[in-house]
A and B are shown apart, each in its own frame.
Chain A
Amino acid sequence: MNIYSVLFVGVGGDGIITASNVVAYACMFAGFDVKKSEIHGMSQRGGSVSASVRYGDRVYSSTDKMGSVQFMLATEKVEMLRWVRYLNNDSIVVVNDRIVPIIGQTIDESNIDGMIETVKVRRLIKRKFIDDANKLGNARLVNTVMLGLLSRFMGIDEKYFVDAIDQVLPEKLKTINQFAFSYGLKLSEEYA
C-alpha cells in the first residue's frame, strides 16, 4: 500500500489551506484517492499552521506518520524546522527563504539557516520565492510558484494542476495562478 504525502507548513494567513486544496484536487484528477487534514480555530490567530495532503490507491489517515513525508512545502523557515521529524532522507523540501517574526522573540536567521543545513534530505530547495512572485506582479502568487516547482518532483502532470486551480480558485485568480504554476514548473529546470 503506497501512500504519498505533501505536508504544508507555515503561519496563519500564509494561504496554506488554499494551496493544499489545489494539490488535493490535482491528485484526485490524476486518479488517486485523497485525504487532507487541516486545523482551524486557534491557529488562525497567527499561530503555526499545517495541512497534509495524502494520496494513493486507498488512503485512510488524513495525517502523517513521523518520518514518512515525501514532500514538504514550507512557507517559512522556522516552521519547516518545526516539522522536521516528519521528513526522512528521501524527502523533497521546498521552502520559502523567509522568517515571520514571533512576538517577544528574537530569531537569529543565520542560526536558523545553519539548522536547515543539517537537514540532509534528497532535495532541499530554499529560495526567496517572494522575488519570483513579485516578478510576476503579485506577492500572493508565491505559493503557486512553489507548487509548480514541487509538482515536478511529485510526478503529477501539469494538466491536473491546471484543472485543480480552475476548481479551487475564484474566477479572477485562475489565469494568473495557472501562469504562476507554469513559471514554477519551469523553475524546476534549474534544480533538475
Chain B
Amino acid sequence: MSEIAENRQLVVPGEVLAEGMDYLPGDGAYRNQKNILSSTLGLVEFKGRLVKVIPLNGKYMPKKDDPVIGIVKEVGYNKWTLDLNGPYDAFMLVGDASDRYIDTNRDKLASIFGVGDAVICQIKKIDENLAVFVTARGPGLRKLHEGRIIHVKAAKIPRIIGKSASMVKMIKEFTGTRMFVGQNGIIWVDGGDEALAVEAVRKIEAEAHVPGLTDRMKAFLSEKTGKTFEEIEASRPSETPSTGARGFQPPVREAREFRENAGPSGEDDLFQGESE
C-alpha cells in the first residue's frame, strides 16, 4: 500500500516502484502480483494512482495523429513505403500523397516522392495488423526540398520540443533556422545557423535527463549567438496569431498547387504546439 520509489527516481527493469493494489501500472511499468515493477530504464513518475516510467531510450512506436518525418524507402505501383526510424515502416497510398488527383496509369509516382525523399507526414491509421498508414495531405505536410535531416533518439523528442514547443521555438529564434521535429526522432533543419541548431539538439539529446535543461539551453544559445533571451523575446511580433486546438493554422488556400512542387512554404511548425 505504499510508494517504494520516489518521483523522478532513476530505475532499471525489475525494480519495485509501488506496493499494493491502490496503484496502477502505466507506460514502462507492469504489475507482478501485488507490486508495480518497472519494465524500462527510466525516471519514475507518480500521477495520482498511476505509476509510469519515462524511458531514457527506445525505438519509435507509431501512434495515430503523430506528426513525423518519413524517408521514402520504396516506390510501388499505388503506394510508397516510408522508413519511420522505428521497427515498423509506413505506407502512403496515392490518395494521401497530394490534394491533386493522381492517375497511377499516367503519373509517375517516383516523380512525386522518390526514393530517399524526406516527407513531413502524419500518421493516419494503424490497422489491426500493425500496418502504419501516413498522409501528406494536411496543413504543413509536405516534401522537404532543402536543409538537413538529423536522427535523434525518439525517447528524447518530448524534451527537444519542450512544453508547448518552447524548446524548438527557442532554438529557431536564436539560430534563425526553420525546423521540424518529427515525433519519430527525425528532425529537419534549414537556413540560418544550421550547425548551431544541430549542436543544440545534440546537447539536449545528451542532457535531457538532467534537471534545469531550459536554463542551460538558454545560456548555451546566448553564449553561442551573443544574443540574450530578452532580445529574442523583444523581437517577437507583438500580435499573437489566432490559435486553435492545433496551434496556429494558416489560412486555407484555394486551388492549391501540387504540394510537392510548391517548394519551401514556411509552414513547418504547425503541429508542435500540442506536444508535451
The answer to whether A and B belong to the same complex is: no
B residues with a Cβ closer than 8 A to A are none
A residues with a Cβ closer than 8 A to B are none
